[in-house]
Structure 1
């Protein structure tokens, strides 16, 4: 039944995705409790955590959908108070994500110590497990999906479990940050056993959207990016 539902929803994408343009605004929240804070004994670390948490309420990210393409990025606001830079990237959200459904391709523009990289990945690269769990978010029925995100870098080897709540009524395989490839727009997303999550703030249908220009720079794979990341971090460690 689940496979049949997935197939039907994927078929609907090719029809509906051609007719709508949207601006999707996401916020970021932190479920770090006072009990968790009280367990932090280092005053400097505790103050940094509090500062980061206070910054979350001012953060907004936008996913622009233009037919079969999309772009996700952090929204910089001139009138925002001082925001802890760590809050922007905490739990994801740094850089710019580009999506091209026709090419089944996503490109992540990211920086590492001042250098810019463009990392390619297939939109359908995740093996999502769509569960039977559902809940209402902003008046729409959403379904829970889970996927493993393996990592192997200088910090060690393991798997991060991704959780996303998606809405089939918006049959776009896009979402915030690294949460994509589902038969519906992602409304809520987080890494399991972490305190930070993306949540949907508002959806606005647009009459017209400027063309999304994809990066023309040289692209690299996730594996290549991991090698660059490992070398950079190891070089920094060896310098100290």
Structure 2
């Protein structure tokens, strides 16, 4: 009788209790990940320096600089320990101010960035040429320096990197300077810049400047969702589309 009871106990533990416990543990882990606290950083973007006028369309460039000189745009970075999502604030995109719309495009409206820490899943969602594109985010190679300054009461260090932009006029190197704070241990920042040992609080990307305006560690109701709808292409392929479009436009002039 005792052996039968012992067998029943082992059977219940092995075939009912343990699988149920394992399922409960897995469900708890998934729930914990989904409920991970999301914080918010709001950045304000503005012109760092005017566009150069080496082009033959000097008047157009000057008029453009004048139009967006005093314009700003606001972006939100939603982040946690694992991932982040960066996009322009909705009210900025919905403006009826024509000059602001032009400035928004220059500042980065139409591009949202999803970054997953230590992963190849990081991607930019780019709306251009009447389509949506999903473009993998490159791994940034940063040069760290000991130069530092205070931004919003946080000690920040300077880091540098660069990237190449291609268009119908050739290849151009864009220099980037980021000021990050190791006191805020999140490797994210404006646009798709990431991988530094601290949150980026100030960024200079060629002609543009992005500065932290507000930082909240209160759990936000906004969720981080990886973009999945769009045509998957490489950055090189995206440049090729732009060159073809620009070439077709130039021939019509």
Structure 2's unaligned 5+ residue stretches are 1-34
Aligned to 2:213, what secondary structure does the other structure show? strand
User: Does the CA-based 8 Å contact 1:66-1:209 persist in structure 2?
Assistant: no
Residues 30-109 of structure 1 correspond to what in structure 2 (within 5 A)? Answer: 30-32=47-49, 42=59, 46=62, 48-56=64-72, 59-77=73-91, 82=97, 83-92=99-108, 94-109=110-125
**Counterpart contact for 2:48–2:204, Cα < 8 Å:** no
Distance of 1:141 and 1:89 partners within structure 2:
32
Distance in 2 between residues matched to 1:98 and 1:131, nearest whole Å: 27
Alignment of 1:192-207 (within 5 A): 192=206, 194=207, 196-207=208-219
TM-score by length of 2: 0.73
- Distance in 2, Cα, partners of 1:90 & 1:140: 29
Higher strand share: 1
Provide the residue aligned with 2:239 in structure 1. Answer: 226
Deviates more, 1:129-138 or 1:107-116: 107-116
SS in 1 for 2:122: strand
Residue 145 of structure 1 and its aligned partner are, at CA, apart by 0.6
Alignment of 1:8-19 (within 5 A): none
Deviations 1:131-173, CA, capped at 9 Å, x for gaps: 1110000000111111121233322123111111111112222
Q: Structure 1 87/103 Cα, relative in aligned 2: closer, same or farther at 3 Å?
A: same
Q: Which residue of 2 aligns with 1:183?
A: 197
The correspondence for 2:228, drawn from 211, 216, 233, is 216
The structure that has the greater radius of gyration is 2
CA displacement, residues 71-109 of structure 1 (integer Å, 9 cap, x when unaligned): 111113289672522211335454211111252432111
Aligned residue among 112, 117, 127 for 2:141: 127
Corresponding residue for residue 179 of structure 2: 165
Residues 210 and 84 of structure 1: is their aligned pair in 2 closer, same or farther, counting only changes over 3 Å?
A: closer
For 2:159 and 2:167, the matched residues in 1 are separated by 26
Could you tell me the TM-score, scaled by structure 1's length? Answer: 0.76
